[in-house]
Amino acid sequence: MRSFFLRYLVCCALPLFWINQSSAAEVSVAVAANFSAPMKVIAQAFERETGHKAVLSFGATGQLYAQIRNGAPFSILFAADELTPAKIGKEGLGVAGTTFTYAIGQLVLWSKNPGRVDEQGEILKKGSFTRLAIANPKLAPYGAAAIEVLNHLGVMHQVKPKIVEGANIAQTFQFVFSENAELGFVALSQVYENGKLKQGSGWLVPKSLYSPIKQDAILLNPGRDNPAARALMQYLQSDAAKRVIQNFGYEIKI
């Protein structure tokens, strides 16, 4: 009797197990390099809460866009700007009506050296450095913002020979972190956590010096019927995800 009862419990439990397994899905996500750290945290929480798994690929927004146009099977794009998702929508590569601003990025001039960058960014005018790292302005919105700042300050001519370009904002950060460049324009999220710089010194660039870095997401055609893709888009707009985003130095569109 006891063995029969145990077999009965196992048989009853199996359908529930398979239902839970079959409801979980996987989503391939293209993520702008500046959003790497918060997206990794969000993806882990998303998997814990929903059972869905997010497979993340990071890169410059321009590079990711080129991959999408060439048929890369991403289900979602989290871009570093608002223009690329809008362009994807117009080209019929994304699902209409799914675009939203998930974060507003902030630019910081940063050095790994604690005393290197003053809080007003005067080091740019003094020119007391040999290399200044920025992301490729043709591919990375943070690089385009850096160029805006240098032009606005009137120092482009004097610093141009010192500029080294990273393929994306992640590589730009590595230039500065490895001290191959004394300072560089990076995303605040790369050097900021829980309300303060993690290390080094920095100048939080005033927003009046560059165009707003509104970072938009869009559901791509391969994710149209993917429940995990729809769930992740919704999760990014939850209070839990917004707290993570803000903790990494982004602003949230209200």
Same domain, yes or no: 99 and 220: yes
| Mean predicted confidence (pLDDT) in 11-21 | 39
- 218 SS3 class: strand
Same domain, yes or no: 112 and 153: yes
Q: What rounded mean pLDDT belongs to the chain?
A: 91
Give the CATH number, domain containing residue 122. Answer: 3.40.190.10
- pLDDT at site 31: 97
pLDDT at position 194 over 80:
no
Q: Which residues contact 193 (CB under 8 A, 6 or more apart)?
A: 37, 247, 248, 249
Same domain, yes or no: 41 and 112: no
Domain assignment present for residue 235? The answer is yes
Domain assignment present for residue 17? The answer is no
C-alpha Rg value of the chain to the nearest Å: 22
Give residue 193's pLDDT band: very low, low, confident or very high (50, 70, 90). Answer: confident
pLDDT at position 173 over 80:
yes
Structural tokens at position 67 = 């991959």
- pLDDT at site 19: 33
Domain assignment present for residue 88? The answer is yes
Domain assignment present for residue 118? The answer is yes
Rounded alpha-carbon distances, angstroms, from residue 64 to 41, 73, 107, 226: 21, 11, 21, 20
Q: Which residues contact 166 (CB under 8 A, 6 or more apart)?
A: 133, 134, 135, 136, 140, 143, 172, 173, 174, 175
- pLDDT at site 254: 66
Domain assignment present for residue 11? The answer is no
pTM across the whole model: 0.81
- pLDDT at site 17: 33
pLDDT in tens, 72-115: 999 999 999 999 999 999 999 999 999 999 999 999 999 999 99
Neighbours of 21 (CB within 10 A): 9
Same domain, yes or no: 118 and 204: yes
Domain assignment present for residue 2? The answer is no
Read off the DSSP letter of residue 78: E
Domain assignment present for residue 47? The answer is yes
| Mean predicted confidence (pLDDT) in 104-129 | 95
Give residue 13's pLDDT band: very low, low, confident or very high (50, 70, 90). Answer: very low
Q: Which of 6-10, 139-143, 176-180 has the highest mean pLDDT?
A: 176-180
Domain that holds residue 186: 106-209
φ/ψ region of 163 (left if φ > 0, alpha if ψ in -120 to 50, else beta) reads beta
Distance CA 108, CA 91 (A): 33
What is the total count of domains within the chain? Answer: 2
Same domain, yes or no: 141 and 64: no
Domain assignment present for residue 85? The answer is yes
Read off the DSSP letter of residue 251: B
pLDDT at position 152 over 70:
yes
Same domain, yes or no: 179 and 202: yes
Same domain, yes or no: 126 and 243: no
Pairing type for strands 26-32 and 53-59 reads parallel
pLDDT at position 196 over 50:
yes
**Cα four-point dihedral sign 160, 165, 169, 170:** negative
